[in-house]
Amino acid sequence: MTRRRSFIQQSALIAGGLWLSPTLLHARQQTAPSDRVRVALIGANNMGFGILRHHLALAEVDCVAICDVDQNVLEKRLKEVEDATGKRPEGFTDFRKLLEKKDLDAVIIGTPDHWHCLIAVAACQAGKDVYVEKPMANSIGECDLMTQAAAKYSRIMQVGQQQRAGQAFIESRDLVKSGYLGKIRKVNIWSNFNYGLGNEIKPLTTVPEGVDYDFWLGPAPKREFNPNRFHGSWRHFWDYGGGLMSDWGVHLLDMAIWVEENPSAPSIVMTYAKNVNKENRDRDTFDTMNVLFPKKDFLINYDMNGGLQSGPYNKPYGIAYVGELGTLIVNRNGYEIYPEWDGTAKAPKCEAKKLEGTTESHNLHVANFVECIKARNQPSCPPEAGRLAALHAHIPNIAARIGAEQLIWDDQKREFVGNAAANALIWPEYREPWTLPKV
């Protein structure tokens, strides 16, 4: 049985909850200590714990520690892992103490985006490999620091752009790069999701019991506690995230960059952004954006609508590779090719193709990470790929924040051309006592 098929079967065993079958538990017991990979989770509330579940579906992976600033979340996750595996991980509320562990190979970073860089660089310096959720970081400059840290300390760093492990996206990329659609003119991307509106306005409240809110804020500005800025909805505020653009946009834009002959940073970026729905909404980020990225190989056209759920081809989100012979439409559920018609030959210019029934690929992306830890190979989304994807999300967000219709990015100099306001947003300002890491 191939590693891919075996992992899919193992992952199915924990669908719907952290429960491991007797077969998988037996396989875990039979794995030699020298073949085991010991991981820790930092940020355990939502996606981070989902990624840990996929790690634990691999027989050779142990969870030796979990860290969270919310004691309620921490205790819940420690118990869930203990109940599932028979081993209770060590609990931490300070990631720096966790990174001192000697019996630790890799960390999973599932924190809000504004923490990614600090933790990832510290992990690399401590000799740990890193799986970091997307976007790679909450600023352009921090992405550079993480890329430099992974290279300097020879660490495996996998960015959570899991579409790169998905069958529909892999086959689509291969069809595009093989010339099946002819020359690609443009890549149209759309993402329409209700949650892009942000939450309704809520009053300030006291900090929930068991939460170290000052540590949760970390390098972000000091603010009074509001539930809209906490679990689940923090991404709508620039202090911690980049809204729908950096949440979904970075996934889909990565798939456009992936088919470039030589994947590159954007040079010219044209942005329209507006908050159309302002009624009783609490957010910094935008609900409506259109962005053009003129690239060497083709034009990328990104269309985002928070608060809507329908889109082209009756899909709320997707990618259309528009070629001279046909157009390929893909999302996580599969792909379909719509051929152009040759009026002279009275025939389609390419053969129609269709793939249906594909699903999420977090499990395979995690499996790739674990394999690369053991073999010391480059993962499917290494730091530079994560940096390029993040750039395509951060630059439009910066343009929207300063009201610029067009920005020109010089990737060699790592700066915007002739725009001081945009350059001021390349790096975040860390709140004391936190400082930008040095690599």
- Per-residue pLDDT reduced to its tens digit, 228-257: 999 989 999 999 999 999 999 999 999 999
Query: In the structure encoding, which two tokens stand for residue 179, read together?
Result: 């010339």
Element (H, E) at 384: helix 383-402
95 Cβ contact list (under 8 Å, min separation 6): 42, 67, 119, 122
At 1, is the pLDDT very low, low, confident or very high (cuts 50, 70, 90)?
A: very low
Half-sphere exposure of 335 (CA within 13 A, CB side): 22
At 279, is the pLDDT very low, low, confident or very high (cuts 50, 70, 90)?
A: confident
Of 18-27, 119-128, 141-150, least confident by mean pLDDT is 18-27
How far is it, in rounded angstroms, from Cα 406 to Cα 275?
Answer: 18
Largest CA distance in the chain: 73
pTM of structure: 0.94
Whether the CB-CB separation of 380 and 365 falls below 8 Å is answered with yes
How far is it, in rounded angstroms, from Cα 330 to Cα 353?
Answer: 11
Domains in the chain: ranges and CATH: 3-163+373-382 (3.40.50.720), 166-358+386-423 (3.30.360.10)
Residue whose tokens read 């249906």:
356
Per-residue pLDDT, averaged over 329-338, amounts to: 98
At 278, is the pLDDT very low, low, confident or very high (cuts 50, 70, 90)?
A: confident
At 140, is the pLDDT very low, low, confident or very high (cuts 50, 70, 90)?
A: very high
How far is it, in rounded angstroms, from Cα 264 to Cα 269?
Answer: 13
Residue whose tokens read 């309620």:
72
Q: Please give the mean pLDDT across all residues of the chain.
A: 94
Per-residue pLDDT, averaged over 316-330, amounts to: 98
Whether the CB-CB separation of 193 and 248 falls below 8 Å is answered with yes
Whether the CB-CB separation of 390 and 142 falls below 8 Å is answered with no
Residue 70, classed as helix, strand or coil, is: strand
How far is it, in rounded angstroms, from Cα 163 to Cα 183?
Answer: 23
Predicted local distance difference test score (pLDDT) of residue 4: 47
Query: In the structure encoding, which two tokens stand for residue 352, read together?
Result: 């129609």
At 35, is the pLDDT very low, low, confident or very high (cuts 50, 70, 90)?
A: confident
Taking Cα atoms as reference points, which of 418, 436, 424 lies closest to residue 398?
424
